[in-house]
């Protein structure tokens, strides 16, 4: 019996992959030291994207030339846009692919990160954003070590738990993928707060969309190595959080899980700042110096998820050596959160300038 | 709880309870015919981490009672602290939940960013 030609399966020459329909946007302002590594890391992925567009946001250090030499398309606006969100939106207007990804100019990816991050978007139409696991590329100074511990804790215990309940709190701006239509429908990355990734994620939830966390998709940003850079980053994050709560509370309180997560985070951040910076020192003076043990009493509890993550990565020694830095970092976190609350809520002076600090 | 945000442990307790609930939720889903090996693996991993955290915390309480002068005699504080934290957390969740229930009765337009 002869098989009709139309039922003979043709050998697939090239199976369509989500990355074939993906544009990666890399906003960059004076990133000459890192942009080439970032572009090469994207182009060297197991499934490279259709386009890599670097938005050279009026850099003065040759960032655009380096990005072009590394293989990226380069867009250069007529003037500095003033923020990461602004730079990303310049490129978004030109995106015609189904998916869009944003990657910071100081962030490199594990070789299969892009392929893995695209999976939930390709598999489920209701998912409009996906974010990956973040690990600092350099772990040397006290601030980098503190952040390393903080990320291992957050991305091993908190974020997978949030994902199981369908609500990762933030699709991190340094490495996230989006369904382009939903991103454009949300108006792109808004510049109304200093944490555009949190703003976008919460906007998606209020529109009924889903966001996923993909722990296997790993990225490596350069984290602040000194207090000056760290301060700029923490000012953006803490002010951005307060601004987003003020902007979205009417909408997120209607979403039971997100409302509770944000409510607990806000309450905890306010109380923790006051306790760490004022209550514990005061009680130590008035009652007993043993009260100061409260600063470290949760170390074994913190160590459990941190060591789980570190063991998976083969970095147990590094994690143990970094733990004391985490204790220092969270005091600094408290200081900046308190400053943000006082400035934004009490003094009504919102942070409006986007200060670059990794 | 989230990178860059300080926390007292109240957020940690919240996630601890969620992680411990994950296998129960998965069991219910499975019994309803919605089985996922991937979700089960995550639920058991997170619950395992949560149990490790509980064990570590109990260990700290025991160590403090043995090592810190004056902390060994009275169990009240050791028992009171987690109860107070649970109470605050429950109250917070109840307030947000009630607020949300009231808010959902009124329409809200969600526009683009």
Contacts of B11 in chain A (CB under 8 A): 158, 264-265, 268
Q: Say how far apart CA B77 and CA A291 lie, in whole Å.
A: 13
Question: Token digits for A260?
Answer: 């509770």
Give the number of beta-carbon pairs within 8 Å between A and B: 164
What's phi and psi for B105, nearest 5 deg?
Answer: -75, -20
The A127-134 sheet, strands edge to edge: A73-75, A51-56, A22-28, A99-103, A175-179, A127-134, A210-221, A107-109
Distance from CA of B64 to the nearest CA of A (A): 9
Give B96-107 pLDDT, tens digit per residue. 788 877 777 776
Q: Minimal CA–CA distance to A222: which of A113, A129, A141?
A: A141
ipTM > 0.95, yes or no? no
Chain A, 196-255: which have a CB under 8 Å from a chain B CB?
199-200, 203, 206-207, 233-234, 237-238, 241, 250-251, 253-255
Contacts of A194 in chain B (CB under 8 A): none
3-state secondary structure of A179: strand
Contacts of B29 in chain A (CB under 8 A): none
CB spacing of A170 vs B2 below 8 angstroms: yes
DSSP structure class, residue A266: H
What's phi and psi for A83, nearest 5 deg?
Answer: -160, 160
Q: Which of B6, B43, B108 sits opposite A269 (nearest CB)?
A: B6
Those residues with Cβ within 8 angstroms of residue A229's Cβ, 6 or more apart along the chain or in another chain: A143, A357, A358
CATH class of the A18-225 domain in this structure? alpha beta
**pLDDT score recorded for residue A54:** 98
Distance from CA of A177 to the nearest CA of B (A): 18
Q: Tens-digit pLDDT profile for chain A (358 aa)?
A: 344 444 444 444 456 788 899 999 999 999 999 999 999 999 999 999 999 999 999 999 999 999 999 999 999 999 999 899 999 999 999 999 999 999 999 999 999 999 999 999 999 999 999 999 999 999 999 999 999 999 999 999 999 999 999 999 999 999 999 999 999 999 999 999 999 999 999 999 999 999 999 999 999 999 999 999 999 999 999 999 999 999 999 999 999 899 999 999 998 889 888 999 999 999 999 988 888 888 888 898 899 999 999 999 999 999 999 999 999 999 999 999 999 999 999 999 988 877 765 5
Chain A, 121-160: which have a CB under 8 Å from a chain B CB?
147, 150-151, 154, 156-158, 160
**pLDDT score recorded for residue A132:** 97
Question: DSSP string of B10-50?
Answer: HHHHHHHHHHHHHHHHHHHHHHTT---HHHHHHHHHHHHHH
CB spacing of B60 vs A300 below 8 angstroms: yes
| Sequence ranges of the domains in chain A | 18-225, 246-346
CB spacing of B2 vs A304 below 8 angstroms: no
Q: Which residue of A has its CA nearest to B19?
A: A161
Q: Minimal CA–CA distance to A97: which of A3, A177, A191?
A: A177
Chain A, 266-305: which have a CB under 8 Å from a chain B CB?
267-269, 271-273, 275-276, 288, 290, 293, 297-298, 300-301, 303-305
Q: Higher-confidence residue: B61 or B24?
A: B24
**pLDDT score recorded for residue A294:** 86
Question: Token digits for B27?
Answer: 């069991």
**pLDDT score recorded for residue A293:** 86
CB spacing of A264 vs B89 below 8 angstroms: yes
Axis-axis angle for helices B76-104, B10-31 (nearest 10): 60
What's phi and psi for B27, nearest 5 deg?
Answer: -60, -45
Q: Which of A207, A333, A336 sits opposite B110 (nearest CB)?
A: A207
3-state secondary structure of A73: strand
Q: Which of A186, A199, A333 sits opposite B6 (nearest CB)?
A: A333
Distance from CA of A349 to the nearest CA of B (A): 20
Q: Say how far apart CA B85 and CA A236 lie, in whole Å.
A: 30
**pLDDT score recorded for residue B72:** 64
Q: Say how far apart CA A81 and CA A357 lie, in whole Å.
A: 16
Q: Say how far apart CA B77 and CA A271 lie, in whole Å.
A: 20
**pLDDT score recorded for residue A64:** 96
Residue of B4, B54, B101, B109 to mutate when probing chain A, most A C-beta within 10 A:
B4
**Nearest-5° Cα angle at B43, B37 to B49:** 135
The partner residues of A73 in beta bridges, in order of sequence, read: A53
Contacts of B12 in chain A (CB under 8 A): 298, 301
pLDDT of B19 above 50 = yes
**pLDDT score recorded for residue B71:** 65
Contacts of B100 in chain A (CB under 8 A): 253-256, 259
Contact A182, A121 (CB under 8 A): no
pLDDT of B111 above 60 = no
Q: Say how far apart CA B58 and CA B54 lie, in whole Å.
A: 6
**pLDDT score recorded for residue B82:** 75
Contact A114, A219 (CB under 8 A): no
Contact A181, A125 (CB under 8 A): no
Predicted model pTM: 0.90
- Return the minimum-mean-pLDDT range out of A197-206, B34-43, B70-79: B70-79
């Amino acid at each position: 019996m002869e098989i009709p030609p139309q039922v003979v399966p043709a050998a697939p020459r090239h199976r369509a992959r989500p990355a074939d329909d993906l544009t990666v946007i890399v906003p960059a302002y004076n990133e000459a030291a890192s942009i080439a590594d970032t572009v090469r890391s994207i182009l060297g992925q197991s499934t490279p994207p259709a386009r890599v567009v670097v938005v050279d946001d009026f850099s003065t250090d040759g960032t655009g030339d380096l990005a072009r030499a590394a293989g990226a398309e380069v867009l250069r606006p007529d003037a500095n846009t003033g923020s990461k969100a602004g730079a990303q939106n310049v490129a978004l207007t030109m995106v015609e692919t189904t998916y869009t990804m944003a990657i910071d100019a100081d962030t490199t990816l594990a070789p299969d990160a892009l392929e893995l991050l695209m999976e939930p978007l390709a598999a489920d139409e209701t998912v409009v954003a996906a974010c990956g696991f973040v690990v600092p590329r350099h772990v040397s100074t006290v601030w980098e070590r503190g952040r390393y511990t903080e990320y291992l804790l957050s991305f091993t215990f908190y974020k997978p738990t949030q994902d199981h309940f369908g609500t990762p709190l933030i699709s991190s701006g340094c490495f996230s993928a989006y369904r382009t239509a939903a991103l454009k429908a949300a108006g792109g990355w808004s510049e109304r707060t200093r944490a555009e990734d949190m703003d976008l994620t919460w906007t998606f939830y209020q529109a009924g969309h889903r966001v996923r966390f993909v722990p296997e998709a790993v990225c490596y940003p350069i984290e602040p190595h000194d207090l000056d850079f760290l301060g700029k980053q923490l000012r953006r994050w803490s002010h951005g959080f307060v601004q987003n709560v003020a902007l979205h509370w009417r909408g997120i309180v209607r979403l039971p899980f997100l409302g509770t997560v944000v409510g607990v985070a806000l309450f905890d951040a306010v109380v923790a700042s006051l306790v760490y910076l004022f209550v514990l020192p005061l009680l130590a003076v008035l009652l007993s110096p043993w009260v100061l043990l409260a600063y470290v009493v949760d170390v074994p509890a913190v160590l459990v998820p941190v060591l789980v993550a570190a063991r998976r990565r083969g970095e147990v020694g590094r994690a143990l050596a970094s733990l004391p830095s985490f204790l220092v970092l969270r005091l600094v976190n408290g200081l900046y959160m308190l400053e943000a609350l006082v400035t934004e809520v009490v003094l009504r002076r919102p942070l409006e300038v986007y200060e670059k600090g990794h | 709880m989230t990178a860059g945000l300080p926390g007292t442990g109240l957020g940690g307790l919240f996630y601890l309870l969620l992680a411990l609930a994950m296998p129960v939720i998965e069991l219910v889903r499975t019994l309803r015919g919605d089985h996922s090996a991937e979700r089960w693996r995550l639920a058991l991993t997170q619950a395992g981490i949560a149990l490790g955290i509980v064990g570590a915390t109990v260990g700290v309480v025991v160590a403090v009672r043995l090592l810190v002068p004056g902390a060994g005699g009275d169990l009240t504080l050791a028992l009171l602290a987690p109860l107070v934290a649970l109470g605050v957390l429950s109250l917070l969740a109840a307030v947000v939940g009630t607020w949300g229930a009231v808010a959902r009765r009124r329409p809200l337009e969600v526009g683009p960013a």
